[in-house]
Amino acid sequence: MLAEFGPKEVINFAQGLGQEVFTGSTGRVFPTRMKASPLLRAWLARLETLGVTLLRRHRWVGPLVAGETHSFETPSGEVQIQAKVLILAMGGASWARLGSDGAWSKHFTQAGVVQSEFVAANVGMQVAWSKHMVPYFGKPLKNIKLSAAGAQSRGEFVISQSGIEGGAVYALGRMLRKNALAKLDFAPQINAADLHKMIASRKPKDSLTNFLRKSVKLDATKRALVFELTQPMPRDINGLVAAIKNAPLPLMGPCPMDQAISTAGGVMWDALTPELMLKSHPGIFCAGEMVDWEAPTGGYLITACLATGRWAGRAAADYLSATARL
């Protein structure tokens, strides 16, 4: 699905709607205007010119049954719509105020469709900070490397009252959820051997704080976190290298789901055909975040949503054509 509609195609799609994008230093792609709403409005406007009927404020309410009658909740009450094919793209469970509350999942469960539990993805990780870190809440840590379970992410994150959040955290979401300890490299641009030499040549009168600031180029936030994560601070060279290059970061699990950008979990692949149609309900397709996959933000998440939507849409059209010939 991604091979047929990947990053290049998504960028072209956005630009074709008059929405320019840019690639950040970490390789992630963002709208130049830093908002998704202009892209959405341009997309909806194009659909209207193509003759698409948009029934706004219609919410599929189940039950999930075989057949061509589908129930929707509207401001005027429940209505039934006849359709030979139905593509459901109802999101995960992390944006309840915008409708993505995962309520559809109960109808799938009642119909026997196998699913995996929703869990928060693209979400901050909780850390029990000491009072020492209070002045640094909201401060970013740039150019760091975060590691967990053999995976690494280089970029930045923000220190929050409840823990850490940001691109470097989201990229390791799956690994961080399964581990109570991550490792942090405050100076990935300096290898351990060179840092060892720098510490060995440190002047006796040079305090550790000044050394970290002047020689290692750690800003105030990084220095505060170095001292927070390694107590007591070691005096030997190897210990100091480890405190800077391999600091232990204890984690207390992800932040609540309603704080997440997206969720993992949903309809499992085994319940779907290669065309994303429910095996148990011919003519009903699933796409987007309601299917069990996850991806980091910064272009990856929306790319997979668009790719699965396009795939399901084309498969649904083929299915409709095939059944019309029977």
Which pLDDT does position 168 carry in this prediction? 94
Is residue 23 domain-resident? Answer: no
Which pLDDT does position 157 carry in this prediction? 96
Is residue 18 domain-resident? Answer: no
Q: How far apart are CA 101 and CA 116, in angstroms?
A: 15
**Do 129 and 233 belong together in one domain?**
yes
Query: Is the model's pLDDT at 97 over the cut of 90?
Result: no
Q: Give the amino acid at 166.
A: G
Q: Is the dihedral of CA 249, 252, 256, 261 positive or negative?
A: positive
Last residue of a domain, one of 250, 276, 294: 250
Last residue of a domain, one of 196, 228, 250: 250
Q: How far apart are CA 310 and CA 2, in angstroms?
A: 10
* Confidence class for position 326, pLDDT limits 50, 70, 90: low
Contact call for residues 286 and 315 (beta carbons, < 8 A): no
**Do 147 and 190 belong together in one domain?**
yes
Which pLDDT does position 222 carry in this prediction? 98
Which pLDDT does position 44 carry in this prediction? 95
Is residue 162 domain-resident? Answer: yes
Q: Average pLDDT of 86-107?
A: 92
Which pLDDT does position 297 carry in this prediction? 85
Report the CATH number at residue 67. Answer: 3.50.50.60
Give the Cβ contact number of residue 46 at 10 Å.
Answer: 13
Last residue of a domain, one of 231, 250, 269: 250
Q: Which domain holds residue 193?
A: 125-250
Contact call for residues 292 and 266 (beta carbons, < 8 A): yes
Q: How far apart are CA 52 and CA 55, in angstroms?
A: 10
Residues in contact with 29: Cβ distance below 8 Å, sequence separation at least 6, in sequence order: 7, 10, 11, 21, 22, 23, 298, 299
Tell me how far apart the 2 most distant CA atoms of the chain are, in Å: 88
3-class SS string, 172-192: CHHHHHCCCEEEEECCCCCCH
Structure tokens at 2: 């991604």
**Do 232 and 131 belong together in one domain?**
yes
**Do 130 and 192 belong together in one domain?**
yes
Residues in contact with 131: Cβ distance below 8 Å, sequence separation at least 6, in sequence order: none
| Residue 285 phi, psi (nearest 5) | -115, 155
**Do 195 and 139 belong together in one domain?**
yes
**79-88, 187-196, 260-269, 291-300, range with the lowest pLDDT:** 291-300
Give percent above pLDDT 90 in the chain. 88
Q: How many domains does the chain have?
A: 2
**Whole-prediction pTM value?**
0.87
Q: Average pLDDT of 206-218?
A: 95
Q: How far apart are CA 236 and CA 247, in angstroms?
A: 15
Q: How far is CA 210 from the centre of its chain?
A: 37
Q: Average pLDDT of 18-39?
A: 88
Q: Average pLDDT of 44-68?
A: 93
Is residue 236 domain-resident? Answer: yes
Q: How far is CA 287 from the centre of its chain?
A: 16
* Confidence class for position 30, pLDDT limits 50, 70, 90: confident
Which pLDDT does position 119 carry in this prediction? 94
The full DSSP string for 2-20 is TTTS-HHHHHHHHHHTT--
Structure tokens at 8: 């290049």
Summary mean pLDDT of the chain:
94
Q: What is the pLDDT of residues 103-127, one digit of tens each?
A: 999 999 999 999 999 999 999 999 9
Query: Is the model's pLDDT at 325 over the cut of 90?
Result: no
Q: Give the amino acid at 52.
A: V
Q: How far apart are CA 96 and CA 19, in angstroms?
A: 27
Query: Is the model's pLDDT at 324 over the cut of 90?
Result: no
Q: What is the pLDDT of residues 247-295, one digit of tens each?
A: 999 999 999 999 999 999 999 999 999 999 999 999 999 999 999 999 9
Is residue 3 domain-resident? Answer: no
Unique residue bearing structure tokens 């049954």: 65
